Protein backbone atom coordinates (compact mmCIF):
# COMPACT_ATOMS: atom_id res chain seq x y z
CA UNK A 1 0.00 0.00 0.00
CA UNK A 2 1.04 3.60 -0.56
CA UNK A 3 -0.40 5.86 2.13
CA UNK A 4 -1.59 9.36 1.11
CA UNK A 5 -3.84 9.87 4.15
CA UNK A 6 -3.30 12.57 6.75
CA UNK A 7 -2.31 10.21 9.51
CA UNK A 8 -0.93 7.85 10.44
CA UNK A 9 1.43 8.49 7.53
CA UNK A 10 4.48 6.65 6.21
CA UNK A 11 7.56 6.73 8.44
CA UNK A 12 11.17 6.92 7.27
CA UNK A 13 13.36 3.80 7.43
CA UNK A 14 15.29 5.15 10.41
CA UNK A 15 12.08 5.85 12.36
CA UNK A 16 10.86 2.33 11.57
CA UNK A 17 14.20 0.81 12.59
CA UNK A 18 13.89 2.53 15.97
CA UNK A 19 10.37 1.13 16.26
CA UNK A 20 11.76 -2.40 15.86
CA UNK A 21 14.02 -2.07 18.92
CA UNK A 22 13.20 -3.33 22.40
CA UNK A 23 11.56 -0.61 24.48
CA UNK A 24 14.06 0.33 27.20
CA UNK A 25 13.48 1.14 30.87
CA UNK A 26 12.98 4.89 31.01
CA UNK A 27 13.70 6.26 34.50
CA UNK A 28 17.28 6.86 33.41
CA UNK A 29 19.49 9.81 32.54
CA UNK A 30 19.76 8.40 28.99
CA UNK A 31 16.02 8.68 28.41
CA UNK A 32 15.96 12.13 30.03
CA UNK A 33 18.53 13.23 27.46
CA UNK A 34 16.23 12.03 24.66
CA UNK A 35 13.38 14.07 26.17
CA UNK A 36 15.52 17.20 26.55
CA UNK A 37 16.68 16.90 22.96
CA UNK A 38 13.08 16.46 21.81
CA UNK A 39 12.11 19.58 23.75
CA UNK A 40 15.00 21.59 22.31
CA UNK A 41 14.25 20.65 18.70
CA UNK A 42 10.47 21.12 18.97
CA UNK A 43 11.02 24.60 20.45
CA UNK A 44 13.48 25.43 17.68
CA UNK A 45 11.17 24.23 14.89
CA UNK A 46 8.14 26.03 16.40
CA UNK A 47 10.21 29.21 16.93
CA UNK A 48 8.99 29.25 20.51
CA UNK A 49 9.63 32.38 22.60
CA UNK A 50 12.36 32.28 25.28
CA UNK A 51 11.20 30.66 28.48
CA UNK A 52 8.75 28.32 26.72
CA UNK A 53 8.39 24.72 27.85
CA UNK A 54 7.39 21.55 26.04
CA UNK A 55 5.25 18.71 27.38
CA UNK A 56 4.83 15.30 25.74
CA UNK A 57 1.50 13.67 26.51
CA UNK A 58 0.70 10.06 25.85
CA UNK A 59 -2.50 10.32 23.85
CA UNK A 60 -3.35 11.45 20.33
CA UNK A 61 -3.61 15.09 19.22
CA UNK A 62 -7.08 15.40 20.73
CA UNK A 63 -5.61 14.70 24.18
CA UNK A 64 -3.39 17.73 23.61
CA UNK A 65 -6.42 19.83 22.67
CA UNK A 66 -8.32 18.84 25.82
CA UNK A 67 -5.25 19.22 28.05
CA UNK A 68 -4.77 22.77 26.76
CA UNK A 69 -8.37 23.75 27.45
CA UNK A 70 -8.38 22.17 30.94
CA UNK A 71 -5.11 23.70 32.07
CA UNK A 72 -5.12 27.22 30.63
CA UNK A 73 -8.77 28.35 30.47
CA UNK A 74 -11.38 28.81 33.19
CA UNK A 75 -15.04 29.88 33.53
CA UNK A 76 -13.98 33.55 33.93
CA UNK A 77 -12.63 33.49 30.36
CA UNK A 78 -14.55 34.58 27.30
CA UNK A 79 -13.26 32.61 24.34
CA UNK A 80 -13.58 33.03 20.58
CA UNK A 81 -13.26 29.84 18.58
CA UNK A 82 -13.05 29.34 14.82
CA UNK A 83 -15.27 26.47 13.69
CA UNK A 84 -14.73 25.59 10.03
CA UNK A 85 -15.00 21.81 10.24
CA UNK A 86 -14.71 18.78 12.50
CA UNK A 87 -11.59 19.94 14.37
CA UNK A 88 -13.08 23.38 15.06
CA UNK A 89 -16.20 21.59 16.27
CA UNK A 90 -14.00 19.53 18.63
CA UNK A 91 -12.71 22.73 20.29
CA UNK A 92 -16.31 24.00 20.58
CA UNK A 93 -17.38 20.79 22.34
CA UNK A 94 -14.39 20.94 24.69
CA UNK A 95 -15.21 24.52 25.65
CA UNK A 96 -18.82 23.52 26.35
CA UNK A 97 -17.78 20.45 28.35
CA UNK A 98 -15.32 22.40 30.49
CA UNK A 99 -17.81 25.26 30.98
CA UNK A 100 -15.68 27.96 29.33
CA UNK A 101 -17.94 30.76 27.97
CA UNK A 102 -17.36 31.03 24.23
CA UNK A 103 -18.52 32.48 20.93
CA UNK A 104 -18.17 30.44 17.78
CA UNK A 105 -17.10 31.88 14.41
CA UNK A 106 -18.70 29.40 12.03
CA UNK A 107 -17.34 29.08 8.51
CA UNK A 108 -18.82 27.11 5.64
CA UNK A 109 -16.69 24.13 4.51
CA UNK A 110 -13.77 25.24 2.38
CA UNK A 111 -14.11 28.95 3.25
CA UNK A 112 -11.19 31.06 4.45
CA UNK A 113 -11.34 33.27 7.55
CA UNK A 114 -11.51 36.97 6.59
CA UNK A 115 -11.19 40.26 8.44
CA UNK A 116 -14.97 40.75 8.37
CA UNK A 117 -15.45 37.56 10.39
CA UNK A 118 -13.33 38.99 13.22
CA UNK A 119 -14.42 42.64 13.10
CA UNK A 120 -17.65 42.21 15.18
CA UNK A 121 -15.59 40.90 18.13
CA UNK A 122 -13.07 43.73 18.29
CA UNK A 123 -12.93 45.32 21.77
CA UNK A 124 -15.73 43.14 23.15
CA UNK A 125 -13.99 41.79 26.25
CA UNK A 126 -12.79 38.47 24.87
CA UNK A 127 -9.85 36.89 26.68
CA UNK A 128 -8.89 33.84 24.60
CA UNK A 129 -8.81 32.64 20.98
CA UNK A 130 -8.76 29.04 19.77
CA UNK A 131 -8.05 28.00 16.20
CA UNK A 132 -6.98 24.93 14.24
CA UNK A 133 -4.35 26.58 12.06
CA UNK A 134 -5.10 24.00 9.39
CA UNK A 135 -8.69 22.67 9.52
CA UNK A 136 -7.66 19.27 8.20
CA UNK A 137 -11.22 18.05 7.57
CA UNK A 138 -11.77 20.59 4.79
CA UNK A 139 -8.15 21.47 4.00
CA UNK A 140 -8.46 25.15 4.88
CA UNK A 141 -5.30 26.84 6.13
CA UNK A 142 -6.19 29.99 8.09
CA UNK A 143 -4.43 33.33 7.75
CA UNK A 144 -2.44 33.43 10.98
CA UNK A 145 -1.19 36.98 10.38
CA UNK A 146 -4.80 38.17 10.32
CA UNK A 147 -5.62 36.18 13.48
CA UNK A 148 -2.46 37.25 15.26
CA UNK A 149 -3.10 40.95 14.54
CA UNK A 150 -6.59 40.64 15.99
CA UNK A 151 -5.34 38.75 19.05
CA UNK A 152 -2.53 41.22 19.73
CA UNK A 153 -4.89 44.23 19.49
CA UNK A 154 -7.28 42.54 21.90
CA UNK A 155 -4.62 41.02 24.22
CA UNK A 156 -6.00 37.52 23.79
CA UNK A 157 -4.53 34.26 25.05
CA UNK A 158 -3.98 32.19 21.90
CA UNK A 159 -4.27 28.40 21.58
CA UNK A 160 -3.24 27.09 18.16
CA UNK A 161 -3.91 23.52 17.07
CA UNK A 162 -1.07 22.87 14.64
CA UNK A 163 -1.53 19.10 14.60
CA UNK A 164 -1.52 18.70 10.81
CA UNK A 165 0.48 21.82 9.88
CA UNK A 166 3.52 21.77 12.20
CA UNK A 167 6.56 21.01 9.97
CA UNK A 168 4.39 21.32 6.83
CA UNK A 169 3.68 25.09 6.72
CA UNK A 170 5.58 28.02 8.22
CA UNK A 171 4.80 28.75 11.88
CA UNK A 172 6.49 31.29 14.11
CA UNK A 173 5.10 31.08 17.61
CA UNK A 174 7.01 34.12 18.85
CA UNK A 175 6.08 36.40 15.98
CA UNK A 176 2.42 35.34 16.07
CA UNK A 177 2.35 35.72 19.88
CA UNK A 178 0.80 32.27 20.19
CA UNK A 179 0.68 30.85 23.73
CA UNK A 180 -0.03 27.17 23.21
CA UNK A 181 0.97 25.14 20.17
CA UNK A 182 -0.42 21.63 19.86
CA UNK A 183 0.84 18.90 17.57
CA UNK A 184 0.73 15.12 17.35
CA UNK A 185 3.12 12.31 16.47
CA UNK A 186 1.31 10.85 13.43
CA UNK A 187 1.01 13.84 11.07
CA UNK A 188 4.09 15.65 9.69
CA UNK A 189 6.18 14.19 12.51
CA UNK A 190 5.55 10.92 10.65
CA UNK A 191 5.79 8.64 13.66
CA UNK A 192 3.18 6.21 14.99
CA UNK A 193 0.14 7.77 16.70
CA UNK A 194 0.13 8.03 20.49
CA UNK A 195 1.99 11.19 21.52
CA UNK A 196 0.72 14.75 21.60
CA UNK A 197 3.17 17.62 21.96
CA UNK A 198 2.37 20.95 23.64
CA UNK A 199 4.58 24.03 23.48
CA UNK A 200 3.70 26.50 26.26
CA UNK A 201 4.75 30.17 26.21
CA UNK A 202 5.69 31.94 29.46
CA UNK A 203 2.16 33.38 29.53
CA UNK A 204 0.72 29.87 29.18
CA UNK A 205 2.97 28.62 31.98
CA UNK A 206 1.57 31.38 34.19
CA UNK A 207 -1.98 30.26 33.43
CA UNK A 208 -1.11 26.62 34.09
CA UNK A 209 0.27 27.54 37.53
CA UNK A 210 -2.90 29.38 38.49
CA UNK A 211 -5.30 26.76 37.13
CA UNK A 212 -6.94 24.07 39.22
CA UNK A 213 -7.03 21.18 36.77
CA UNK A 214 -9.66 18.64 37.88
CA UNK A 215 -7.84 15.72 36.28
CA UNK A 216 -4.67 14.07 37.50
CA UNK A 217 -3.44 12.35 34.32
CA UNK A 218 -3.52 15.51 32.20
CA UNK A 219 -2.51 18.02 34.90
CA UNK A 220 0.22 20.09 33.27
CA UNK A 221 1.61 21.26 36.63
CA UNK A 222 2.61 17.66 37.37
CA UNK A 223 3.89 17.11 33.82
CA UNK A 224 5.99 20.30 33.88
CA UNK A 225 7.47 19.43 37.28
CA UNK A 226 8.60 16.05 35.91
CA UNK A 227 9.86 17.54 32.65
CA UNK A 228 12.37 19.61 34.69
CA UNK A 229 14.37 16.36 34.89
CA UNK A 230 13.42 15.12 31.41
CA UNK A 231 10.75 12.76 32.70
CA UNK A 232 6.98 12.27 32.64
CA UNK A 233 4.78 11.57 35.68
CA UNK A 234 3.38 8.34 34.24
CA UNK A 235 4.90 5.72 31.94
CA UNK A 236 4.89 7.44 28.55
CA UNK A 237 4.85 5.91 25.07
CA UNK A 238 8.62 5.39 25.42
CA UNK A 239 9.07 3.80 22.00
CA UNK A 240 7.27 6.61 20.15
CA UNK A 241 9.22 9.28 22.05
CA UNK A 242 12.44 7.62 20.86
CA UNK A 243 11.09 7.54 17.29
CA UNK A 244 10.21 11.23 17.57
CA UNK A 245 13.81 11.82 18.60
CA UNK A 246 15.11 10.05 15.47
CA UNK A 247 12.74 12.01 13.28
CA UNK A 248 13.51 15.45 14.79
CA UNK A 249 17.25 14.84 14.40
CA UNK A 250 16.67 13.62 10.83
CA UNK A 251 14.91 16.92 9.98
CA UNK A 252 17.70 18.90 11.66
CA UNK A 253 20.43 16.97 9.81
CA UNK A 254 18.63 17.46 6.48
CA UNK A 255 18.73 21.26 6.84
CA UNK A 256 16.09 22.06 9.45
CA UNK A 257 12.43 22.94 9.51
CA UNK A 258 12.48 25.30 6.50
CA UNK A 259 13.88 22.51 4.33
CA UNK A 260 11.21 20.09 5.51
CA UNK A 261 8.43 22.62 4.84
CA UNK A 262 9.85 23.22 1.36
CA UNK A 263 10.04 19.47 0.70
CA UNK A 264 6.39 18.92 1.64
CA UNK A 265 5.36 22.08 -0.25
CA UNK A 266 7.20 20.79 -3.33
CA UNK A 267 5.28 17.48 -3.25
CA UNK A 268 1.96 19.32 -2.85
CA UNK A 269 2.71 21.60 -5.81
CA UNK A 270 3.83 18.64 -7.95
CA UNK A 271 0.60 16.74 -7.25
CA UNK A 272 -1.65 19.78 -7.82
CA UNK A 273 -0.02 20.39 -11.17
CA UNK A 274 -0.30 16.74 -12.25
CA UNK A 275 -4.04 16.40 -11.58
CA UNK A 276 -4.96 19.16 -14.02
CA UNK A 277 -7.42 17.69 -16.50
CA UNK A 278 -8.83 15.10 -14.07
CA UNK A 279 -12.50 15.54 -13.06
CA UNK A 280 -11.61 16.88 -9.59
CA UNK A 281 -12.12 20.33 -8.08
CA UNK A 282 -9.87 21.63 -5.32
CA UNK A 283 -12.40 22.79 -2.72
CA UNK A 284 -10.41 24.94 -0.28
CA UNK A 285 -10.02 28.72 -0.66
CA UNK A 286 -6.73 28.61 1.22
CA UNK A 287 -4.53 25.54 0.97
CA UNK A 288 -1.98 24.10 3.37
CA UNK A 289 1.02 22.15 2.08
CA UNK A 290 -0.26 19.22 4.14
CA UNK A 291 -3.34 18.19 2.17
CA UNK A 292 -5.18 18.66 -1.13
CA UNK A 293 -8.97 18.36 -0.61
CA UNK A 294 -10.71 17.22 -3.79
CA UNK A 295 -14.32 17.12 -4.92
CA UNK A 296 -14.82 14.52 -7.66
CA UNK A 297 -17.29 15.98 -10.11
CA UNK A 298 -18.56 12.69 -11.55
CA UNK A 299 -18.72 10.11 -8.71
CA UNK A 300 -18.88 9.64 -4.93
CA UNK A 301 -15.66 10.57 -3.14
CA UNK A 302 -16.05 7.58 -0.85
CA UNK A 303 -16.23 5.21 -3.83
CA UNK A 304 -12.90 6.59 -5.01
CA UNK A 305 -11.40 5.87 -1.60
CA UNK A 306 -12.72 2.28 -1.69
CA UNK A 307 -11.67 1.57 -5.27
CA UNK A 308 -8.19 3.03 -4.69
CA UNK A 309 -7.77 0.85 -1.60
CA UNK A 310 -9.17 -2.36 -3.03
CA UNK A 311 -8.00 -2.23 -6.65
CA UNK A 312 -4.87 -0.07 -6.70
CA UNK A 313 -3.23 -0.65 -3.29
CA UNK A 314 -3.42 3.05 -2.46
CA UNK A 315 -4.90 4.86 0.52
CA UNK A 316 -6.31 8.29 -0.14
CA UNK A 317 -8.07 9.92 2.81
CA UNK A 318 -11.87 9.72 2.96
CA UNK A 319 -14.02 12.32 4.71
CA UNK A 320 -16.76 11.60 7.22
CA UNK A 321 -20.21 12.96 7.91
CA UNK A 322 -21.86 15.21 5.37
CA UNK A 323 -18.71 15.40 3.28
CA UNK A 324 -18.34 11.63 2.87
CA UNK A 325 -19.51 11.50 -0.74
CA UNK A 326 -18.37 15.00 -1.67
CA UNK A 327 -14.72 15.25 -0.67
CA UNK A 328 -11.67 13.03 -0.39
CA UNK A 329 -8.22 14.25 0.51
CA UNK A 330 -4.71 13.53 -0.71
CA UNK A 331 -2.03 14.09 1.93
CA UNK A 332 1.53 15.25 1.41
CA UNK A 333 2.88 14.26 4.83
CA UNK A 334 5.31 11.48 5.66
CA UNK A 335 7.85 9.53 3.69
CA UNK A 336 6.53 10.13 0.14
CA UNK A 337 8.28 10.89 -3.15
CA UNK A 338 7.35 12.31 -6.55
CA UNK A 339 7.37 8.72 -7.87
CA UNK A 340 4.64 7.86 -5.36
CA UNK A 341 2.53 10.73 -6.77
CA UNK A 342 3.22 9.51 -10.31
CA UNK A 343 1.72 6.15 -9.29
CA UNK A 344 -1.28 7.85 -7.69
CA UNK A 345 -1.98 9.99 -10.75
CA UNK A 346 -1.52 6.98 -13.05
CA UNK A 347 -4.17 5.17 -10.96
CA UNK A 348 -6.57 8.12 -11.33
CA UNK A 349 -5.97 8.14 -15.10
CA UNK A 350 -6.57 4.41 -15.27
CA UNK A 351 -9.88 4.91 -13.43
CA UNK A 352 -10.78 7.63 -15.89
CA UNK A 353 -9.97 5.36 -18.85
CA UNK A 354 -12.19 2.65 -17.41
CA UNK A 355 -15.01 5.14 -16.92
CA UNK A 356 -15.04 4.96 -13.09
CA UNK A 357 -14.52 8.69 -12.71
Ligand X SMILES: *Cc1c(COP(=O)(O)O)cnc(C)c1O
Site of interaction with ligand X (CB under 6 A): 7, 60-62, 87, 132, 134, 136, 161, 163-164, 184, 187
Smallest gap from residue 261 Cβ to ligand X (A): 17
Nearer to ligand X, 83 or 164 (CB): 164
- Per-residue CA distances from 216 to 35, 96, 213, 220 (Å): 21, 20, 8, 9
Q: Cβ(346)–Cβ(19) under 8 Å?
A: no
Contact 325, 301 (CB under 8 A): yes
Nearest distance, CB of residue 180 and ligand X, angstroms: 13
Nearer to ligand X, 137 or 201 (CB): 137
3-state SS string for 194-243? CEEEEEECHHHHHHHHHCCCCCCCCCHHHHHHHHCCCCCCCCCCHHHHHH
Contact 149, 124 (CB under 8 A): no
Specify the DSSP element, H or E, that contains 66. Answer: helix 61-72
Taken as a whole, the chain contains a residue count of 357
* Minimum CB distance to ligand X smaller for 54 or for 351: 54
- Least spacing, CB of residue 140 vs ligand X, in Å: 10
Residue with the shortest CB distance to ligand X? 61
Nearer to ligand X, 136 or 245 (CB): 136
Supply the minimum distance, in Å, between the C-beta of residue 295 and ligand X.
Answer: 19
- Tell me the helix, strand and coil percentages in the chain, rounded to 5: 45, 15, 40
CB of 60 to ligand X, least distance (A): 3
In whole angstroms, what is the distance from residue 56 CA to residue 223 CA? 8
Q: How far apart, in whole angstroms, are the C-alpha atoms of residue 306 and residue 209?
A: 48
CB closer to ligand X, 260 vs 348: 260
* Residue whose CB is less far from ligand X, 161 or 340: 161
Nearer CB in complex with ligand X: 151/182: 182
Nearer to ligand X, 151 or 181 (CB): 181
**Minimum distance of ligand X from residue 329's CB (angstroms):** 11
SS3 291: strand
By C-beta, is 130 or 257 nearer to ligand X?
130
CA distance 98 to 78: 13
Q: Where are the beta strands (DSSP E) in the chain?
A: 2-3, 53-58, 79-83, 102-106, 128-132, 134-135, 140-141, 157-161, 180-184, 195-200, 280-282, 291-296, 314-315, 317-318, 328-331
Residue 280 forms beta bridges with which residues?
296
Contact between 331 and 291 under an 8 Å Cβ cutoff? The reply is yes
Smallest distance from the beta carbon of 183 to ligand X, in angstroms? 9
* Interatomic CA distance for residues 261 and 171, integer angstroms: 10
Amino acid sequence: MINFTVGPVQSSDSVRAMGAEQVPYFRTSEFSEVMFENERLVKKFAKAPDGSKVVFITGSGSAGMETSVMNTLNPQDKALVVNGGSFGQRFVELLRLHKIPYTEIRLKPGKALRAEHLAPYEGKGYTAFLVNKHETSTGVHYDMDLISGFCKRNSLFVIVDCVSTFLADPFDMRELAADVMITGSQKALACPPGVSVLVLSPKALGRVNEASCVCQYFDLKIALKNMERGQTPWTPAVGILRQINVRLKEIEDNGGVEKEIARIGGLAAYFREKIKGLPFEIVSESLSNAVTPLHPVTVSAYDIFLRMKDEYGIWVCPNGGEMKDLIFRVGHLGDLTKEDYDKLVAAFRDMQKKGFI
